[in-house]
Copies of this chain bind each other. A is one copy, B any other.
Amino acid sequence: MQLTFDGETVRGGNEARERFYDARGYGRPQDGELELAPVEAAHLLFRGDVTAVRDDREGGRLGFESLLSSRAVSEVDFFVYKELRDRGFYLSPTDSADVTDFVVYPRGEGPWDDAVAYRVTALSERAAVDAGTLTAIASGTDAEQDEASTGVLAVVDEESEVTYLELDTPTSSGSTNHELPPFDGDLLSDRVLVPEPPESLHDHAFYGQRLDRDDDRVQLSLVEAAYLSSHGDLTVGVEEVADADAIIDRGREVEGERFDRRLRVYDALRSAGIVPKTGFKFGADFRTYADVDSVDDLGHSEFLVRALPADHSFVPRDLSLDVRLAHGVRKRMLFALTTEDDINWLSAERLTP
């Protein structure tokens, strides 16, 4: 049985189609014969199902190592293909222009069925990936086919182990909504002190923190204070500028535009009925509580949120760090990709296909 390679596609005859496509889901049929992507041929060569492929361009025969060295196959793609095959999946490489590198069929199904379980994009540990690409992986591009399938980033580390991250663009909302009477605070250098807070401020609406266990005074973070002030609840009584502007200026002094980004994300979460509190202990901007009625009965915080510019470039290592830590504390990692007037939400979770 002869397979030939023209530099782009590996082709085989009727027997190859029967043996590799019909029986084991490699490649696609073309007029009764077989077309394989180079990564599929590399896997057949690696397994020893095929010993060599004839090189139509230069003559000679390509084995596994020479095909991998030829740059027709990225070894990053190969390791992902192999790992998913090892897990018992059939999968097909897509058009290389697509953000999706492989469509993976549900276990027990193959390219002759309609269903797709995962849309997988392969990435080297060393390569950065921008937020827009991650969002495209999460959302999918071909609406009909993609609806039921999961967008997955498969990162190949330097030991060629594959880590799968499930990406999604969730919308979430909560039910926290407490009316506050207007109140006064003192603007300190890094927060606002509220000497006589309305009772609901901390205990029900979960703004700020008591100064001490048995102390009724409440301290607000600058981001909380900026939000409350811009909504007319808090007055800090500075002179010459609006209260909210004074607080925001204080925030920017130390954080620059990161403060504005955090404030926009804070505002969006509060507007959705969700309480954001500092995520510092978890290395995030915020942890969130969806339905707060009383601080004595908070429930589990569900998300860790990181506020990032919409054009942020992710290093896979940092994604791995965030997702692993969030998983360890039973939370979901959520990236708030912010522009001046919009936020796109992107979640990432470890996946075992």
Measured CA separation A127–B161 after assembly (Å): 37
Tell which of B163, B193, B283 touches A324, judged by Cβ atoms closer than 8 Å: B283
Q: Does A124 contact B (CB under 8 A)?
A: yes
Tell which of B189, B317, B318, B320 touches A74, judged by Cβ atoms closer than 8 Å: B189
Encode A327-343 as 1/0 by CB contact (under 8 A) with B: 01000000000000000
Contacts of A278 in B (CB 8 A): 125, 157-159
| Contact present for B320 and A283 (CB under 8 Å) | yes
| Contact present for B321 and A158 (CB under 8 Å) | no
| Contact present for B190 and A317 (CB under 8 Å) | no
| Contact present for B282 and A321 (CB under 8 Å) | yes
Q: Does A55 contact B (CB under 8 A)?
A: no
Q: Which of A147-204 contact B (CB under 8 A)?
A: 155-161, 163, 186-191, 193, 195
Identity of the chain B residue whose Cβ is nearest the Cβ of A124 in the assembled complex: B190
Contacts of A328 in B (CB 8 A): 325, 328
The size of the chain A interface, using a CB distance under 8 A, is 59
| Contact present for A190 and B281 (CB under 8 Å) | no
Tell which of B127, B161, B224, B318 touches A283, judged by Cβ atoms closer than 8 Å: B318
Identity of the chain B residue whose Cβ is nearest the Cβ of A262 in the assembled complex: B126
Contacts of A160 in B (CB 8 A): 191, 209, 211, 219
Tell which of B69, B188, B222 touches A193, judged by Cβ atoms closer than 8 Å: B69
Q: Does A101 contact B (CB under 8 A)?
A: no
| Contact present for B71 and A280 (CB under 8 Å) | no
Contacts of A280 in B (CB 8 A): 125, 155, 157-158, 161, 163, 316-317, 320
Q: Does A255 contact B (CB under 8 A)?
A: yes
Measured CA separation A195–B69 after assembly (Å): 12
Contacts of A188 in B (CB 8 A): 68-69, 75
Question: With A76-B190, A325-B324 in contact, do A157 and B318 touch (Cβ < 8 Å)?
Answer: no
Q: Does A142 contact B (CB under 8 A)?
A: no
Measured CA separation A130–B208 after assembly (Å): 28
Contacts of A259 in B (CB 8 A): 126
Q: Does A284 contact B (CB under 8 A)?
A: yes
Identity of the chain B residue whose Cβ is nearest the Cβ of A304 in the assembled complex: B321
Question: With A254-B124, A317-B283 in contact, do A221 and B322 touch (Cβ < 8 Å)?
Answer: no
Q: Can you identify 14 A-B contacts, CB atoms within 8 angstroms?
A: A65-B193, A69-B186, A69-B187, A69-B193, A74-B190, A124-B190, A125-B278, A126-B259, A158-B223, A159-B208, A160-B191, A283-B320, A285-B317, A328-B328
Residues of A within 8 A of B (CB): 65, 68-69, 71, 74-76, 82, 124-127, 155-161, 163, 186-191, 193, 195, 208-209, 211-212, 219, 221-224, 251, 254-255, 259, 277-285, 316-318, 320-322, 324-325, 328
